């Protein structure tokens, strides 16, 4: 008698050539799992060129960095965003029909990007920088839409609900906010300034939305200026516990001492002779500005160098050798001097000059001179890492010292740095450090 089990074993041992349908079965199953195939765009066609342009715009606009949670799928949203009125999460902008933009028409996508209104009519919070994108050109919006639809993998990830204090969670109020603050006029063109300046103005004001971080906001959280006609534009702001630096022409706290080449180098590599990137700016450089074309980098630099100083600093930094002399002599009379010698001097030197493009100078550094010491407090507490870029063999890590120095010691060494070598910034208090230490301890 034949055994069913024996028959199954015999069937399992049959050579594949006896089952010509088996490869097709596996192929069908693979297609079912993978989902529908997208037709490839022929290289060089107008459609392919449009998608490629959209890819570039998405990259320099830093879309993925905001719309990708740590460890999450690209563009699927979920990144936690802390604001002064609560927390919210970035949204899913993959072409998933139920959770992303898969069902959006071009007109609906344009309305969401430039007016802050989703497909279902919900108002978007201006943590999404649609006030900047409102000034993007229609052809660039079309290219961005084409790229997101054609190249981004759809992800079925739902958008978490925001947690905002009353009344900020009432989306209907945003219609009034838009009437007050949304300016959808195109970026002004000034022919007398030249092509590079005008291109830079468009990139800074619209696509790269630099003002979203570097321009201070008013009581209703709107940027105080949208272009160079406002003295507030790019004059520095506070963002999630960091101080976004002044990008105007001030000599000490701004970019007045930087050349156009210095600015382009920093955006491409995260370092130059004046500074090294850290914190959120390292992320921006790693994920966005390092991929800018050389022409666009030069254009951004040309535009930024045209901005007058917002703080009236018309005299350049003047170094004072007294601090270096005291450290060389082993004199630690000032509070914080001994801690500086132990923890900081091996990299930044007794003269505060550091090592160009590796360890930034502290003497005359705009971040050191910034009236808001928040970024410096973060650096000393938690450390930092430079931008990861294709132009450098490695990134550099600065260790944090919050584990070994108490609040008063950290405040003393920061005050020593902000007043040494000719720096003239204000002191850092123990309360400043304690508040930031507490805030960092509550963050994931």
The answer to whether residues 140 and 205 belong to one domain is no
pTM of the complete model: 0.88
Q: Structural domain tally of the chain?
A: 3
pLDDT for the residue numbered 38 = 54
Q: Note whether 328 and 431 are same-domain residues.
A: yes
Mean pLDDT over all residues of the chain? 90
SS (H, E, C) 378-423: HHHHHCEECCCCCCCCCCCEECCCCCCCCHHHHHHHHHHHHHCCCC
Residues 301 and 211 in one domain: yes
Please give the average per-residue pLDDT across 409-436, as a whole number: 97
| Domain assignment of residue 261, yes or no | yes
Tell me, yes or no, whether 269 and 361 share the same domain.
no
Residue 346 in any domain: the answer is yes
Is the residue at 69 inside a domain? yes
DSSP-assigned letters across all residues of 125-173: PTTS-HHHHTTS-HHHHHHHHHHHHHHSPP---PPPPPEE-TTTT-TTH
240 part of a folded domain: yes
pLDDT digits (tens, 9 = 90+) for 198-243: 999 999 999 999 999 999 999 999 999 999 999 999 999 999 899 9
The three-class DSSP label of residue 372 is coil
**Cβ–Cβ under 8 Å, residues 368 and 376:** yes
The pLDDT of residue 36 is 43
Render pLDDT for 45-89 as a digit per residue (tens, 0 to 9): 989 999 999 999 999 999 999 999 999 999 999 999 988 889 999
Tell me whether residue 16 is in a domain. Answer: no
- The partner residues of 227 in beta bridges, in order of sequence, read none
Distance of CA 337 to the CA centre of its chain: 34
Give the pLDDT score at 435. Answer: 94
Nearest to 357 by CA among 320, 324, 393: 393
**Which residues are CB-contacts of 92 (< 8 A; sequence separation ≥ 6)?**
67, 75, 76, 77, 78, 99, 100, 101, 155, 157, 158, 159
Looking at residue 33, its pLDDT comes to 40
Of 291, 116, 107, 131, nearest to 206 by C-alpha is 131
Compute the distance between CA of residue 350 and CA of residue 330 in angstroms, rounded to an integer: 10
Interval 87-107 mean pLDDT: 96
- Cα(first)–Cα(last) distance of the chain, in Å? 67
414 and 341 within one domain: yes
Q: Which CATH number does the domain housing residue 344 bear? A: 1.10.760.10
- CA-based angle 418:389:255, to the nearest 5? 40
255 and 157 within one domain: no
**274 and 208 in one domain?**
yes
pLDDT computed for residue 442 by the predictor? 61
- The reply to whether 50 falls in a domain is yes
| pLDDT surpasses 60 at 21 | no
Token couple for 105: 């028409």
Q: Residue 113: which CATH number?
A: 1.10.760
In this structure, is residue 74 part of a structural domain? yes
Say whether both 153 and 200 belong to one domain: no
Beta bridge partners of 83: 86
* Whether 107 and 153 share a structural domain: yes
Residue pLDDT, tens place only, 168-202? 889 999 999 999 999 999 999 999 999 999 999 99
- Determine if the peptide bond prior to 167 is cis (ω within 30°): yes
298 in the same domain as 217: yes
> Above pLDDT 90, what percent of the chain?
82
Examine the domain organization and report whether 112 and 81 are in the same domain: yes
Question: 411: domain range?
Answer: 322-441
Q: How confident is the model at residue 35 (pLDDT cuts 50, 70, 90)?
A: very low
* Separation of alpha carbons 79 and 86, rounded Å: 14
Do 355 and 295 share a domain, yes or no? no
Does 144 fall in a domain?
yes
Closest C-alpha to 369, from 435, 311, 302: 311
Q: How far is CA 305 from the centre of its chain?
A: 21
């Amino acid at each position: 008698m034949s055994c069913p089990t024996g028959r199954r074993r015999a069937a399992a041992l049959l050579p594949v050539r006896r089952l010509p349908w088996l490869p097709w079965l596996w192929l069908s199953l693979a297609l079912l799992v993978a989902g529908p195939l997208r037709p490839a765009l022929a290289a060089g066609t107008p459609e392919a060129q449009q998608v490629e342009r959209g890819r570039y715009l998405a990259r320099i606009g830093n879309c993925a960095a905001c719309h990708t949670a740590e460890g999450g799928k690209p563009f699927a949203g979920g990144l936690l965003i802390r604001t002064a009125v609560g927390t919210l999460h970035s949204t899913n902008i993959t072409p998933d029909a139920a959770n992303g933009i898969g069902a959006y028409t071009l007109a609906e996508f344009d309305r969401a990007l430039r007016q802050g209104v989703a497909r279902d009519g919900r108002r978007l919070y201006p943590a999404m920088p649609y006030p900047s994108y409102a000034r993007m050109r229609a052809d660039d919006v079309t290219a961005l839409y084409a790229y997101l639809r054609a190249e981004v993998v759809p992800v079925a990830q739902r958008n978490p609900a925001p947690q905002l204090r009353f009344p900020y969670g009432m989306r209907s109020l945003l219609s009034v906010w838009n009437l007050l603050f949304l300016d959808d006029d195109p970026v002004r063109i000034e022919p007398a300034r030249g092509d590079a300046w005008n291109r830079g103005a468009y990139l800074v004001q619209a696509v790269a939305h630099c003002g979203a971080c570097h321009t201070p906001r008013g009581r209703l959280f709107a940027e105080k200026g949208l272009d160079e006609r406002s003295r507030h534009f790019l004059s520095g702001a506070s963002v999630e516990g960091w101080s976004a630096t002044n990008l105007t022409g001030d000599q000490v706290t701004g970019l007045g001492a930087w050349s156009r080449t210095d600015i382009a180098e920093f955006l491409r590599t995260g370092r130059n002779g004046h500074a090294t990137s850290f914190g959120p700016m390292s992320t921006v450089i790693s994920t966005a500005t390092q991929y800018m074309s050389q022409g666009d980098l030069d254009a951004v630099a040309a535009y930024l160098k045209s901005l007058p100083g917002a703080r009236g600093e018309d005299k350049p930094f003047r170094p004072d050798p007294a601090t270096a002399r005291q450290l060389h002599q082993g004199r630690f009379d000032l509070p914080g001097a001994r801690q500086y010698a132990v923890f900081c001097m091996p990299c930044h030197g007794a003269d505060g000059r550091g090592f160009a493009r590796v360890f930034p100078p502290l003497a005359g550094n705009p971040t050191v001179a910034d009236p808001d010491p928040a970024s410096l407090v973060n650096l000393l507490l938690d450390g930092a890492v430079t931008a990861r870029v294709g132009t450098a063999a490695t990134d550099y890590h600065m260790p944090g010292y919050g584990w070994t120095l108490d609040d008063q010691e950290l405040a003393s060494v920061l005050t020593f740095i902000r007043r040494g070598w000719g720096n003239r910034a204000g002191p850092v208090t123990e309360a400043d450090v304690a508040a930031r230490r507490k805030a960092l301890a509550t963050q994931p």
